Chain A
Amino acid sequence: MMENIHDLLRAHEGLTREVFLDSENSCAVPKEVVDEMLPYFNQRAYGNPTLTHKPGWEAFEAIMKSSQKIAGFLGCRTLEEVNFAPGETEANNLALAGTAYAMRSHGKKIIICDTEPINILHVVDMLQKRGFTVVKVPVDSEGLVNLGKLEEAIDSETIIVSISAVNHEIGTIEPIREALEIVKDRNTETIFHTDASDAYGRIPFNVKDLDVDLATISSCKILGPRGTGALYVKKSVPVERLLEGQIGTQNLWPGIENVPSIVGFAKASELIFHNFEGKVHHLRKLRDKLIDGITRKLPGVILNGPRDDKRAPDNVNISFRRCEGEALTIELSLNGVYVSSGSACTRRLLQPSHVLVAIGRSYVEAHGSILMKVTWNHKESDIDYVLDVIPKAVKRIREIAGSVEVK
């Protein structure tokens, strides 16, 4: 297997340009963030923050300073509301399962949106096996949650509602404020969680202003290092720990804190919120250049998700008819453009992206989909390169399909 990987990598040798557009799934951490993190590995703050020595106190200080920065960007009331966890997956597990366990005497019903990420879908599947009831509210053709159906689903048994602020695959900006009002009107006890990993740093998102109970954010979704996410927990909202062990500075997640990654998360937040409006404007410009460039240059393409202000400024998701997605990702990779696809072909469940299916795309349209996210450190010339590569790649993959009937 290792030889195969070496060969795949060798096939990429000689690339003169590379553009990484897969920041949905991981990212290259900018130099400013890495430089900020480096001293924390071995020069300072490398101690355990709960212990009584200088490197420990330095670590404590570093975590608190990072918490402070992130609490500021999120609009938290106190530092205790920011709970670091190893990532979005862990924070979402904590939000859903931790709250379900804490609230089990109040009721058994959990409501989510059809298009939530896998790290929410799989958690509620697990909770369902353990006796909780799960309701999935449908979305419309642009991915907007059906608020009427949401209202109908809430009853006295409903303990949690979880709806992403921005959909991770198609960039739909969800009506979180309206959803929250509906939920609290129907049942004031219901805990409202939002996975804000794709909202934080892209759209104005303030927990105090919105008054959500729980919100997930993630470092690697804003060009921060992997290994850190956070769950905002409003004071007095009950969440049970999912893991046990030595509790340090983080009440909800035991074990030794990942100080360099937490410092990096705070730095990445500072970078993205510095001249925030300018950054968003830049993202929108690149996003629309990519969408318009592809839809103008190629026939048989469909934009998945809404347009303009209804869409996250970084998200581009396009289905290419008669063009299988996995083959396209490989062809693009060989040309230095890195993207992901909603094709089932890459995982063999025979089922493509559940988000694209939920907005009414056919299986074939979902198989031929490509997800791209632009970031503040992409340049216009990067998009020019991508717009040069994609039409050629799509043309070649379509030629292989030839006259095969694809419908």
Chain B
Amino acid sequence: MSRTPLPYNPKILKLFRNPKNLGKMKDATAKAVAGNPSCGDIITLYLKINDEETIEDASFESYGCAANIATSSILTEMIKETKLEDAWKTSWKNVVKAVGGLPTVKLHCGILAVGALKRAIRVYYKSKAVSPDWLSDELTFEEKQALEEEELSDLLSKRMDDEGNVQC
């Protein structure tokens, strides 16, 4: 059971109560998932991208904590009407700042949201079979972190299956 106090700030609470851009987007141009339900946080990010490579619309769905919901929600607001090249420059730090800060144990929620954005941008260009100069082959920090979290919880679940108990 929880023992860590989580003093969420007003902005997070507001976005938790009334998330913006919530829900599946039927006509999305690109979609990406980040996180793993085994570790308690997973989001799906939907982007509608026009021919000028501008994000016309963004939405999300989240299975996760209040911080996860709030960071996903604010990210969708931040990237609307931006060019993909500019959206690509979004750092998890921008997201954390935009929600007014996060408890340290929740920083990874901001990282997951941006990880999903970067994956979605890659999905878009892959579908177009083009690769602009600014799109690095190497995974960004957020993508690496998301991957690490996904692999870690896979590992923990597997270890649980093999030995019947969980090792810290």
Contact = CB atoms under 8 A, between A and B. Distances in A.
B37 A363 contact: yes
A4 B39 contact: no
Contacts of B156: 350-351, 363
Contacts of A5: 7
B151 to A, nearest CB: 11
Given A7-B10, A326-B65, A402-B23, A351 B166 contact: yes
B105 A400 contact: no
Interface residues of A, number: 52
Nearest to B2: A346
A15 interface: no
B100 to A, nearest CB: 9
B8 interface: yes
B160 A1 contact: no
Contacts of A343: 2, 40, 65
Contacts of A325: 40
A138 B40 CA distance: 25
Interface in A381-407: 399-407
A109 interface: no
Interface string B1-18: 111101111100100110
Nearest to B59: A402
A144 B168 CA distance: 23
Interface stretch (B41-49, B117-125, B126-134): B41-49
B17 to A, nearest CB: 7
B147 interface: no
Contacts of B16: 327, 330
Nearest to A323: B63
Given A4-B9, A25-B1, A327-B16, A403 B61 contact: yes
Given A8-B7, A350-B153, A400-B19, A330 B1 contact: no
A371 B1 contact: yes
Contacts of B168: 349, 351
A340 interface: yes
B95 to A, nearest CB: 17
A1 B7 contact: yes
A348 B4 contact: yes
Contacts of A327: 16, 64-66, 68-69
Interface string A174-185: 000000000000
B37 A364 contact: yes
Contacts of B152: 350
B145 to A, nearest CB: 13
B136 interface: no
Contacts of A348: 4, 105-106, 108
Interface of B: 1-4, 6-10, 13, 16-17, 19, 22-24, 33, 37-44, 61-66, 68-69, 105-106, 108, 149, 152-153, 156-157, 160, 164-166, 168
Interface of A: 1, 3-5, 7-8, 11, 24-25, 114, 136, 138, 169, 322, 324-327, 329-330, 334, 340-354, 357-358, 362-364, 367, 371, 399-407
Given A364-B38, A404-B43, 6 more contacts: A11-B13, A324-B68, A326-B66, A341-B1, A350-B156, A401-B62
